[in-house]
Structure 1
Amino acid sequence: MPELPEMENYKIHLNHKIAGQDITDIQINREKSININAGLFTNTVLHQKVLNVSRRGKHLLFHLQNGYVLLLHLMLGGWMFFGQESDKPKRTIQVRLSFGNEHLYFIGLRLGYLHLYNPQETQDKLSHLGPEPLDPNFTAIEFINRLNKKHGRLKTTLIDQEFIAGIGNCYSAEICFHAGILPIKDIDDLDDPVKSQLYQSMKTVLLEGIRLGGYMDNPFYSGDTKTGGFNEHCQVYDREGQPCHRCGTIIIKQMVSSRKTFYCPNCQK
């Protein structure tokens, strides 16, 4: 599932490709991917200018000139592609937004969605999300204070979107590895210096993930060489049974709250 770095990578590309552009055509192949009648959706969105695209957690927000917002969550298996008809992937397209001869394809939206909301509805839909981990105003002190109110496994808390927005299976594992902490540790067993290190590792890993284009394999456009660049830099995620890049110990996979997590039993204590 795309996480904060993947969605931030999409946001950067989208603002470069479609910000300031008018939506010239809409194709809806799966009405379950939207939240209202297809006709009303089209009438509200068609010929609107996309002012800009922002991100909140794992969501993207397409801000339209008429004040409405297209709220996107890709969920598991969802991704996007931008280009001409001749460039599009040979995959089932759930929704297509056109910008002249180029199109934005929404693919794999079986669990994901592209919903249309007014500003207040958008705010309500996102009101449950915790702080943005890369917000300059989100300090180590605030992070530790929030963590001190939690109990249970560290992994479970890091992927809780009400605790912090945007972190999922991949980056929770990578953050814990960078910090040298077992993701299966109980939060009550962590002291403040360890929590402070976890905060710094969170910042470092997420920024690196963004810089390298996230871990998703599918390119965003023809010739895109950045998207997915973090995949080769994962230290533990999805590397069960392989040697740790740092010490050579075999990476372990363990289920925590029905979620896969990966760690090095030697580097992480």
Structure 2
Amino acid sequence: MPELPEMENYKLLLQQKIGGQTITDISINREKSINVYTETFIRQVQNQKVVEIERKAKHLLFYLENGRVLVLHLMLGGLMFYGTEEEKPDRTIQIRLSFGSENLYFIGLRLGYLHLFTQEGVKEELADLGPEPLNVNFSLDHFLELVENKRGMLKNTLVDQEFLSGIGNCYSDEIAWHAHLLPDRTMDDLDKKEKVQLYESIRFILPRATQFGGYMDQPLFKGDSKTGDYPSQAYVYDREGESCRRCGNKISKGEISSRKTFYCRECQH
């Protein structure tokens, strides 16, 4: 499932492609991917300019000229592609938004969705999300307050969207490795120095992953050389049996709360 770095990468690239552009045509091939009647969706979205694109946690928000907001969550298996009909991948398209001769295709939305809200409706929909870990106002003091009474496992805490927004299975492992902490450590077992290191690791790993385009395996558009470059840079995620980049020990794989988990037994404690 795309996490904060994947969606932030999408946001930055789409701002260049469709920011300020007008949606000229719409095709809905799967009505379950939207939350209103198809006719209502088309009437309120078509011929509207995309005035801003924002990311909240693992969501993308497309703000339209008429005050409506499209909220995208790709969930498991979802992705996007921007380009012409000839360039698009040979995949089932659930939704297509056209911008003249080029289109934004939403693919693999079996669980994902593109929902239409008012701006007030968006606030209600996303009200339960925790703080954005990359927000300039997300300070160390704020983080230490959040974790003060936390008792669950480190990995489970990091992926809890009501605790922090946008971290999922991949980057929880990467953060734990960078912080020298085993993902099954309990939060109340961490001393202050370890909590400070955890905060610093969150603030290091997420921008780094965004810089390398996240882990999506499909480029966003023809010639996109950025999206999906993170797997070659990963420290532990999906690297079972390979050498740890820090100590040389073999990377282990386990399960925590039914989530596959990668870590180094030697240099994580």
TM-score clears 0.5: yes
How far does residue 248 in structure 1 lie from its aligned partner after superposition? 2.3
How far does residue 179 in structure 1 lie from its aligned partner after superposition? 0.8
How far does residue 254 in structure 1 lie from its aligned partner after superposition? 1.5
The aligned counterpart of 1:16 is 16
Secondary structure of 1:87's counterpart equals coil
The aligned counterpart of 2:82 is 82
Aligned AA (1:127) = A
Number of paired residues? Answer: 269
How far does residue 85 in structure 1 lie from its aligned partner after superposition? 0.7
How far does residue 145 in structure 1 lie from its aligned partner after superposition? 1.3
The aligned counterpart of 2:52 is 52
The aligned counterpart of 1:148 is 148
The aligned counterpart of 1:3 is 3
Aligned AA (1:128) = D
How far does residue 144 in structure 1 lie from its aligned partner after superposition? 1.3
The aligned counterpart of 2:187 is 187
Alignment of 1:175-214 (within 5 A): 175-214=175-214
**Alignment partner of 1:236 is 2:236:** yes
The aligned counterpart of 2:26 is 26
Cα-to-partner distance string for 1:229-267 (whole Å, 9 max, x where unaligned)? 111011110112222222222211121112111100001
Cα-to-partner distance string for 1:194-236 (whole Å, 9 max, x where unaligned)? 0000100111111101111111111000000000111101111
How far does residue 172 in structure 1 lie from its aligned partner after superposition? 0.5
**Alignment partner of 1:106 is 2:109:** no
How far does residue 148 in structure 1 lie from its aligned partner after superposition? 1.4
The aligned counterpart of 1:252 is 252
Pick which of 156-165 and 134-143 moved more: 134-143
How far does residue 18 in structure 1 lie from its aligned partner after superposition? 0.4
Aligned AA (2:91) = R
How far does residue 48 in structure 1 lie from its aligned partner after superposition? 0.5
Aligned residues of 2:29 and 2:93 also touching (Cα < 8 A): yes
CA distance in 1, matches of 2:81, 2:97: 11
The aligned counterpart of 1:217 is 217
CA distance in 2, matches of 1:38, 1:239: 43
CA distance in 2, matches of 1:206, 1:230: 11
CA distance in 2, matches of 1:115, 1:166: 19
Unaligned runs of 5+ in 1: none
The aligned counterpart of 1:65 is 65
| Identical amino acids, percent of aligned pairs | 58
Runs of 4+ in 1 over 3 A off after TM superposition: none
Aligned AA (1:208) = R
CA distance in 2, matches of 1:56, 1:152: 24
CA distance in 2, matches of 1:165, 1:52: 20
Aligned AA (1:232) = S
Aligned residues of 2:24 and 2:46 also touching (Cα < 8 A): yes
Cα-to-partner distance string for 1:49-79 (whole Å, 9 max, x where unaligned)? 1101100000000000000000000001100
**Alignment partner of 1:126 is 2:126:** yes
Aligned residues of 2:63 and 2:70 also touching (Cα < 8 A): yes
Aligned residues of 2:79 and 2:106 also touching (Cα < 8 A): yes
CA distance in 2, matches of 1:188, 1:214: 31
Q: TM-score, normalised by structure 2?
A: 0.98
* Superposition RMSD in Å: 0.8
CA distance in 2, matches of 1:126, 1:152: 23
CA distance in 2, matches of 1:72, 1:100: 21
Aligned residues of 2:149 and 2:188 also touching (Cα < 8 A): no
CA distance in 1, matches of 2:216, 2:161: 20
CA distance in 1, matches of 2:219, 2:170: 19
Unaligned runs of 5+ in 2: none
Aligned residues of 2:182 and 2:268 also touching (Cα < 8 A): yes
